[in-house]
Amino acid sequence: MMTVRAPRQPIDVIVIGAGIIGTACAEALAARGRRVTVIEHDTVGGGATAAGMGHLVVMDDNAAELALSSYSLGLWKELVGDAPQRHEYSRCGTIWVAADEEERAAAAAKAELLHAHGLACELLDAAALYRREPQLRPGLAGGLLVRGDGLVYPPKNARILLERAHRDGALLMRGRVRAIEDHGVLLEDGTRLQAAHVVLAAGAASAALLPQLPLQAKKGHVIITDRYPGFIQHQLVELGYIKSAHAASGDSVAFNLQPRPTGQILIGSSRQFDSTDTAVEPAMMARMLKHAIGYAPALAQLNVLRCWTGLRAATPDGLPLIGPCAARRGLWLATGHEGLGITTSLATAQLLAAQIVGENAAIAHDPYLPARFAQLRAAPEAPLHHGARAASGTPADDVQLSASAGMALL
Ligand SMILES: Cc1cc2nc3c(=O)[nH]c(=O)nc-3n(C[C@H](O)[C@H](O)[C@H](O)COP(=O)(O)OP(=O)(O)OC[C@H]3O[C@@H](n4cnc5c(N)ncnc54)[C@H](O)[C@@H]3O)c2cc1C
């Protein structure tokens, strides 16, 4: 259990939000010697991170997505190391299921691209598909097995990342950020906290703190069953998932089945636009189940334990926002990860930390920079607060700021 206490020394970096993104950023920055304080008003890893399926998956809709997800998968393997149980990690691989010849052609194109990037995968004809996953309904055309994909239990990993950050001196502060200021934040209780850098990693709630963010909430439902060890072996995803994940409007469901290490089956998932009501919708749940049973008929015999929802934070181009944001001095964004934030959290953290400390990162950071959106390029109009000097032309690390006294800490 991590120690929680008042920051007694100047803070270099405030991280808003202790989801998988905020905790990964805290870990990467603390490992680089930065004094980090994470502010969270709720449970660590309790937001979209707890709602996510935890599928670690290489996605290749564009070169930037492929670069970020494949880099991050490598980081996950390093993090997990020889302790898969601690991380509730399983290298189950993904089978992209092709329903017909058109989807089989899409699988072949995907295989070619992944091979070109050195990623291990295998095209499956129908017989090979059924040998690996006999629960799938007859009549499918085949699939693509991507061997390096896996899964983790996301909230557990948010806690692990925070513990690692804590070992390097990071602190967790309980509180709700009401406003982001130049080089600092204002908390709900009126406390002001200052630092050279502020990282906004509040997931779908990020837009409440910075309304100009180009973020749209996409609600998702996930269902979990009782334990049925061996029911399936791989994460099974219909190739049509990609269409559903990138639709710009309308509600959709896609077949996405996951074998948890506990023997439970996660059944995903749905996408609904601009719904911030997190209530479970029985009609959506029924639609998902019907669709999933269409792919794996024996699911109809399993006991469903419960269903939950979460909000994905989606950008218009499907890529996250990672980098400086001109809306406030000292502000950095690590948000907008839509349905891929568990996978890409570790790469996000490395890219962000490298930019903050002025290192070269392992992959180019340009495609994810917030400045690709015009509204995030605007310079702040408000004067600097609290005597902070302008960071313009000055490494922001040089800005000496300290936490105000009397902070409410839990
Ligand atoms: C149904 C569903 C399935 C998914 N499946 C997968 C998957 O299989 N694989 C994958 O890679 N991704 C998946 N995702 C996406 C993934 O879960 C998210 O991209 C990721 O969890 C985002 O993490 P985050 O840290 O940005 O946000 P969150 O986990 O939401 O964390 C943000 C944190 O900020 C805190 N916060 C917010 N506002 C404030 C404030 N004002 N002050 C203080 N704290 C604040 C919140 O309490 C929260 O803890 C899925 C998402 C959903 C909804």
Same domain assignment for residues 174 and 38: yes
Same domain, 310 and 324: no
Q: What is the pLDDT of residue 274?
A: 72
Percent of the chain with pLDDT over 70: 88
Mutate to test the pocket of ligand 1, among 21, 94, 234, 338 (most ligand atoms within 8 A of CB): 21
Residues 306, 355, single domain; the answer is no
CB within 8 Å of 301: residues ≥ 6 apart: none
pLDDT digits (tens, 9 = 90+) for 157-216: 999 999 999 999 999 999 999 999 999 999 999 999 999 999 999 999 999 999 999 999
| 11, β-bridge pairs | 195
How many A from CA of 403 to the centre of ligand 1? 27
Please, what is the angle between helix 154-167 and helix 20-31, to 10°? 20
Residue 404 lies in a domain: no
Bridge partners of residue 199, in order along the sequence: 15, 332
Residue pointed to by tokens 């000292």: 330
Provide Rg for the chain, Cα atoms: 22
pLDDT in tens, 303-346: 999 999 999 999 999 999 999 999 999 999 999 999 999 999 99
The alpha carbon of 52 and the centre of ligand 1 are apart by a number of angstroms equal to 8
Q: What is the Å distance from ligand 1's center to 406 Cα?
A: 30
Question: In this structure, which residue's CA is closest to atom 4 in ligand 1?
Answer: 52
20 lines ligand 1 (CB under 6 A): yes
pLDDT in tens, 104-147: 999 999 999 999 999 999 999 999 999 999 999 999 999 999 99
Q: Of 347, 49, 47, 354, which Cα lies nearest the Cα of 208?
A: 47
Distance CA 103, CA 100 (A): 5
Q: Is the CB of 267 under 6 A from ligand 1?
A: no
Residue 387 buriedness (CB in 10 A; 0-12 / 13-18 / 19+): exposed
Q: Are residue 45 and residue 159 in the same domain, yes or no?
A: yes
pTM (predicted TM-score): 0.92
Task: Give the CATH number of the domain where residue 220 resides.
Answer: 3.30.9.10
**Are residues 304 and 224 both part of a single domain?**
yes
Cβ distance 299 to 170 under 8 Å?
no
Q: Which domain holds residue 107?
A: 94-147
User: Could you tell me if the CB of 322 is within 6 A of ligand 1?
Assistant: no
Give the number of the atom of ligand 1 that is nearest the alpha carbon of residue 21: 25
Structurally, the chain folds into a number of domains equal to 3
Amino acid at 278: T
The CATH number linked to 330 is 3.50.50.60
